[in-house]
Chains A and B, each alone.
Chain A
Amino acid sequence: MLRWPIALAAAAALSSPVALAQQRALPLDALRSGFEFAGADVRAMQADDVANPGFLWVERGEKSWRDAGGGKSCASCHGDAAASMRGVAVHYPAFDRTAGEIIDLEARINACRVRHQGAKPLERESDELLALTAYVAYQSRGMPITANIDGPARATFERGRAFYTTRHGQMNLSCAQCHEGNWGKRLYAETISQGHGNAFPAYRLEWQTLGSLQRRIRACLFGVRAEMPSPGAPELTDVELYLAWRAQGLPLETPGVRR
């Protein structure tokens, strides 16, 4: 007789911010960066700013930042990136008022190019966009991930969480099954990580190049034999936001090195 009111009360409680925190499959104090699941050689590569190939893109991004290329340079508005971009990347994906939606850092860079620099947007996974993204994100290296999931971000967050906990592909696996249910366990010769995106864009040895977090998500979907969304597809941004929430507090490591 009392079941329905109790169920309604429980549903209301579960959607409150406090309850959301309680719903973390990985509690904040149990978060571990992918760095901790990487082999010693991969860790050594990330820790060395010369051996870390990601810095080739960071340096390229630094040049692009200052290059007007016919229009206005990033530097003409934002000055020294070390000052102006510090703390920016850790808040992405974020709500963009002009676009009226949540966008990731790559989309924000492209939005700046189109709106303020008189330039064309750069293609996803192009070296040019990767370089600028890595350069901007690098300015926040060491800072904690702090994406906001309130207000306009809430719907994106919910979609991201739904995607993350839904089974995909021929293997019929959800992200959560590996990265929440089985992290730390061996999968073939590798150890399953918690699946955080705090090191991206990252130099993935398997790619032999730097790649974005969206690419990593697409790669995972390929891994479970699902159709990959196209680069820039909205569901990828949904997942990026969900991942940022999951990784809250983890330090940004861009440019990371992963296997």
Chain B
Amino acid sequence: MGKNRALKGKTIDKNREADKKIKKIEEEIKNKIDVLKTQRSGVLCYPFFLGGISMSPSLVDDIYEDIRDKCKDCDGRLDVILDSGGGDIDSAYNLALLLQRVGHRELNFIIPRWAKSAATLLACSGNCILMSPVAELGPVDPQITELNPLEGRLEQFSPLHIDSTLDLIRSEFENGNEKLAKGLLERLQFPLTLGSFRKSLDIGRQYLIRLLSSRMYPSPEDSQKVKEIANRLTEGYADHGFCIKIEEAKAIGLKVKELTGNELDIVWEIHKLNKERRKIEKQKEEEKVMDMIRNLPPGLIDKLPQDIQKKLRSIISEE
């Protein structure tokens, strides 16, 4: 009991220290954002830092609250520094329309490193995307996560994989491997919902067409180009993780510019500070979780499998 109290005191001290460091980093980030604003002719800059947090309907409420507060003095020109791995595509579309409303004169997205999946859709709502030399966009094919009831494991796939699976079965039939093809067909899960999964590609495409034709390519003459970009981003890549760098983004027709000079220096500094902040946050979290583990009632720990009990005890005794 005494040891636990001492450890708790140690954790509180470490947390205070971590909070101080985080505060200092956040102040530095805020200063860099102000410098960027001056550098970019006074355009208001909104930091959209999600890291590993995914966009979802309830996050829309929180971001809306935050934007109402931070962007109330916006003159209709808005830069958004975007760092996100994506999330729910409907929420991304909702946020895209919100940001377009705030940046009604001009909306630009600045990508230091990542704007993947639904975050790419968000970036496509701007007039222009400004990318660092290592910034990545990604395909917008929705990811479907399902629990495979036969094997009790989680499976994540793209609707595009449905086509490749059906192609594989078809080719086995055509090559005379009927038994193998039938076996594969029997293993298909949720056959009735496969069609609706496949159809979900259309949602991303429709959102992309709407967003691209509202800012990047508003002229009706560009409607074919918009469709081509939307098709490419939803169905044109073999894998959801495909790395779309600036050259590829330009090649598919997106309006992108490479960050250079002072702007690149500032944006990259912001990215590095963000990374440092995340590292300290993680260390703080590890302390918190160790505290939570120590406070688990013995009954709950005893119900855990032997190997986890052993592992936990060895971690706690190492402290």
Task: Report if A and B associate in a common complex.
Answer: no
Residues of A within 8 A of B (CB): none
